[in-house]
Amino acid sequence: MKLRDMLLYLASPLLFILGWELYYDIFIRNPFVLAPPSKVFITFIILLSGRVANFFMPLDALYSLYHYLMGFSIATLSGFTLGILAGYIESFRKSIYLLVEIIRPIPPIAWIPIAILLFKLTHEAAAFIIFIGAFFPVLLNTSTGASSVEKEYIEAAMTLGATKTSQILLKVVIPATLPSFLTGVRVGSGVAWMCVVAAELFGVSSYGLGYKIELGRMYHSPDIVISYMLMIGVVGLILDRMWTKLEETLLKWRRGITWGRSS
């Protein structure tokens, strides 16, 4: 990375931190209301080492990732399966359309009482909230991709001997839907990770980034709250880069076709 690009990337975070520090020194000056970035940085390092009672950030991050993977993996598998069927079979798409459009706008946090009633205060309750958040982006993107497959491709496959629906799905529809599906996975992953905080706030476990934010609030420690918020952002960035890299790797063939056309 060039020095100029690095400075551009760092400009807004550094300005934000400077403005935050100045705002604290001029207007707040109360560590129980808002912690300055200098104190947050020190607290963040201490929390990473586990030297604060009831707070060990690496373990909390692992618990949150566990909840994320539980909910997100189920959302991805079910969203992909139903999305392929809804995109390829028009009657199935029409049969679920109204139900999906009614449930989709309901915020995941509104499902917390239902999650507690169904699963009590368990890891499964947290996974359920995360599932709700991630499911619809995967479903809708996959369905859109499957319904956009050119009929000529399907007819060509049938001409070449793909007579069964399963053959058409495996050889034509699913490969053609992959770009849309991966976009849905990336969007769904971001929503799922944001839902982790809401899913853990109601105490499904004594560990987790979301739960420790609430615990920090109860202890009147803004520096702990902001440190855990920062960790959520860092892990979210890593997850997003991971899914972006996977998408780029799996779709190299599409980039090659695009460049070929433009040249």
Do residues 221 and 147 touch, judged by C-beta distance below 8 A? Answer: no
Lowest mean pLDDT among 62-66, 79-83, 201-205: 201-205
- Domain borders along the chain are 57-250
Compute CA distances 198 → 70, 73, 175, 220, whole Å.
Answer: 15, 18, 35, 19
| pLDDT of amino acid 2 | 79
This prediction has a pTM of 0.87
Per-residue pLDDT tens digits for 177-213: 999 999 999 999 999 999 998 899 877 888 999 999 9
Mean pLDDT across the chain: 89
More confident residue, 234 or 263: 234
Fold of 57-250: MetI-like fold (1.10.3720)
Do residues 86 and 143 touch, judged by C-beta distance below 8 A? Answer: yes
Residue type, 178: L
- If you ran DSSP here, which 8-state letter would residue 34 be given? -
Which of 186, 176, 197, 169 has its CA nearest to residue 246?
186
Confidence check: pLDDT of 158 > 90: no
Compute CA distances 46 → 31, 68, 219, 260, whole Å.
Answer: 17, 25, 16, 52
Q: Copy the structure tokens of residue 105.
A: 């706008």
| pLDDT of amino acid 257 | 46
Do residues 79 and 135 touch, judged by C-beta distance below 8 A? Answer: yes
| pLDDT of amino acid 172 | 81
Which of 229, 225, 144, 123 has its CA nearest to residue 187?
144
Q: At what angle do helices 112-119 and 123-147 cross, to 10 degrees?
A: 120
Instruction: Tell me the average pLDDT across 33-42.
Output: 93
Per-residue pLDDT tens digits for 135-156: 999 999 999 999 988 777 676 7
Which of 250, 88, 93, 83 has its CA nearest to residue 157?
88
How many CA atoms lie less than 13 Å away from 231 in the CB half-sphere?
Answer: 31
Lowest mean pLDDT among 36-40, 94-98, 124-128, 164-168: 164-168
Confidence of residue 173 (pLDDT cuts 50, 70, 90): confident
Report H helices in the chain. Answer: 3-23, 37-49, 57-88, 90-103, 112-119, 123-147, 151-159, 165-168, 174-201, 209-218, 222-250, 252-262
> Which residues, listed in sequence order, are joined to residue 22 by a DSSP beta bridge?
none
Between CA 200 and CA 232 the distance in angstroms is 13
> Which residues, listed in sequence order, are joined to residue 55 by a DSSP beta bridge?
52
